[in-house]
Amino acid sequence: MITGAEAAIIEVVPSDQDIHKGEEFTVDIVVSPGGGEVYGVQYLLVFNKSVVKAETQVKGGFLTSDGNESEIVVNTLNNTEGWVEYSETRINTTAGVTANGTLATVTFTATGDKGALSYLNLSEVIMTDLNFTAIDCMRANGSVTITENEPPVANAIIYDDYNNVGSKHLCKVYFDGSGSHDPDGEIASYSWSFGDGTYDTDVTCEHVYGSWNWNGTGYEPFHASLTVTDDGILPQVNTSYFDVVVYIAGDANGDGTVNIVDASIVGYEWGRVCSPPDVCWRDLPQGAWADRADLNNDHEVNILDMVIIGTRWKDTAW
């Protein structure tokens, strides 16, 4: 940290950055006049050409902060040698600037590999005062380190572990990907595959299965997945795979037929409720049987579930 109430300072802000390869980033060249009046400033900012590439250098508001005019004398980018040069002076005024401000903003693209480092070093700095004399000033350099874009984490849950086909009696399966996250950014997109040839792209979604998979002795689950993509310039993806169990409508115990066993399960669990996503059936003591009894996935075991059994009485999965 540079100190001293009377010292003029020119510095790279922010001083240190961690950037992913391929990303753009900016640094401000900030001037603090200290106890004097600044009329003009020049600098050369040197960087590692194999790590970063200069894209633009844009005038800031430092020398015009009081409403007076200024003129850019030099504004040059040289990626072959690895430097940018800038020079600006006030015009049509006999006063200098006393307030801190940004002289220029430089935009770079990170081109190096993971772990590469580039210093952003200020040199050839001259600040002039009202007497056309160079002001003693201190410099604070910067640096940028290339880091790897960490992959996101796909976290998929379904509210109900046991689901019934919804082609005849509506039974929605609820999917929630809001637990997904990116360690060093944001999730840019979600892609659900429900395992039956259908898809969705919302964070949370509902799906009605129109069929089931009976293998002759039991149900085969649908193999579903959630893929998330992050917001990096070179995007990373991550996929979570999970199974969704779907029974025929009215089959509470999963034996492939609708009969008194299923009705007894509904009767035994009568009145049970849950409130997803905060509390799913799996979060409650012995909630698995209530999940089976909740044939329409409305998260309450009641007459609507018993009606499904009566309507689908003696139906089979084969």
Q: What is the pLDDT of residues 270-282, one digit of tens each?
A: 999 999 999 999 9
Residues of the chain with CATH 2.60.40.10: 157-311
**pLDDT for the residue numbered 9:** 97
Residue 115 predicted with pLDDT over 90 = yes
Report whether 222 contacts 234 (CB < 8 A): no
pLDDT digits (tens, 9 = 90+) for 286-317: 999 999 999 999 999 999 999 999 999 999 99
Provide the CATH number for the domain formed by 8-147 in this structure.
2.60.40.680
Could you tell me the fold of the domain covering 157-311? Answer: Immunoglobulin-like (2.60.40)
Residues of the chain with CATH 2.60.40.680: 8-147
Q: How far is CA 37 from CA 46, 132, 133, 164, in A?
A: 26, 11, 11, 78
Q: Which of 256, 317, 249, 245 shows the shortest CA–CA distance to 288?
A: 245
170 pLDDT band, cuts 50/70/90, is: very high
DSSP string for 67-84:
S-EEEEEEEEEETTTTEE
Tokens at 131, concatenated: 């007497």
**pLDDT for the residue numbered 252:** 98
Average pLDDT of span 190-219? 97
DSSP string for 251-317:
-SSSSSB-SHHHHHHHHHTTT-B-BTTTB-GGGSTTHHHHHHH-TTSSSB-SHHHHHHHHHTTT-B-
**pLDDT for the residue numbered 1:** 39
- With the CA atoms of 294, 298, 300 and 304 taken in that order, what torsion angle do they form, in degrees rounded to the nearest 10? -70
pLDDT digits (tens, 9 = 90+) for 2-38: 444 478 999 999 999 999 999 999 999 999 999 899 9
Q: Cis peptide leading into 235, omega within 30 of 0?
A: no
Is pTM beyond 0.85? Reply is no
232 pLDDT band, cuts 50/70/90, is: confident
- Which is it for strands 137-140 and 117-128: parallel, antiparallel or unpaired? unpaired
**pLDDT for the residue numbered 4:** 43
Tokens at 48, concatenated: 């590692």
pLDDT digits (tens, 9 = 90+) for 48-59: 999 999 999 999
Report whether 159 contacts 207 (CB < 8 A): no
**pLDDT for the residue numbered 168:** 83
